[in-house]
Structures are given as structure tokens and as C-alpha cells.
Amino acid sequence: MISGLFRTLTICVSLALTGNALIAQAEDIKGEDIRNLIAGKTIFGYNVDDREDVTWYFATDGVVKQRKKGAVSEGTWRIEDDIGRLCIQLRDPYSNTKAKERCRVLAKQDDKLEMHGLKKDGRRSGETLKIKEIVEGNAGNM
């Protein structure tokens, strides 16, 4: 009886230490697949960190528009094809100054999509956008 209990406890501790062995890993979306997913489309999402809704429109010519807190920012987007990152540079909606370009990774886990901010070294930052819906065209009227 004790050896069976010990074996069960050992298995539980092993799973805990190996880190979510039963949870599916997110799969990053790369290059052309990103372009096919977003070009000419509107993404409605929720910024987990800021706890607010965000809308993005990715025009096919590389122009991007973002609505956040009621203000619309405009800028450019591109794909780093060699590593599959989505890079965006926006202008501040109030001062019209250009912000530094920031790259993100799109990831799919099960049937859910997320956009994650990246640090300079390529690791994911804490910034996460949960994608609620992707719609053809400029559905956000930006």
C-alpha cells in the first residue's frame, strides 16, 4: 500500500518538475503564413497586460493602423521572413512622433491565436494580445 502511494506521489512530483508535460505547446506562425493570416484584414484582440481591447488593421501595402483607448495610431508593418517575426512601427496618435519598431510573434495553441511582444534578444516579453477575431478588410473603419 505504501509503495503504491509512494509511486503515485513520485509520478506527480516528476510531472510538476518537468513542467506541464500534459499541456500542448504553442506553435509559432512563420513568414508567409503570417502574411496570409493578417494582410488586408482587421484583428480584434484583447491586450492582457493593459486589460483593454485593441483593434489592428494590416493593409496589404504595409500600412498598419491600431485603435487603442479610442485613439488611432498609424505606421508600417513588415515580416522578417527569415525568422518569422511580425515587426510594427507606429506613430504616436497625439504627437505624431515615430515610435521604435517592435517585433512580435504570432502563436497558435489549439484553436486560439495570440500575439506576443519580443525583447531585443528575441525572447518573449510579458506583452500578450489574445486574438478574438480576424475579419477581412478594414472592419474597424480606421
Q: Which residue segments constitute the domains of the chain, with CATH numbers given? A: 26-136 (2.40.128.640)
The segment with the largest mean pLDDT, out of 8-17, 27-36, 79-88, 113-122, is 27-36
Report the amino acid identity of residue 133.
Answer: E
Q: What's the pLDDT at 44?
A: 97
Of the pLDDT bands very low, low, confident and very high (cuts 50, 70, 90), residue 25 is: low
Q: What is the mean pLDDT of residues 71-77?
A: 94
pTM: 0.77
Q: What's the pLDDT at 84?
A: 80
28-53 burial code (b ≥16 CB/10 A, e <16): bbbeeebbebbeebbbbbebeeeeee
Give Cα 56 to chain centroid, integer Å.
12
Backbone angles phi, psi at 116, to 5 degrees: -115, 135
Q: What is the mean pLDDT of residues 122-126?
A: 76
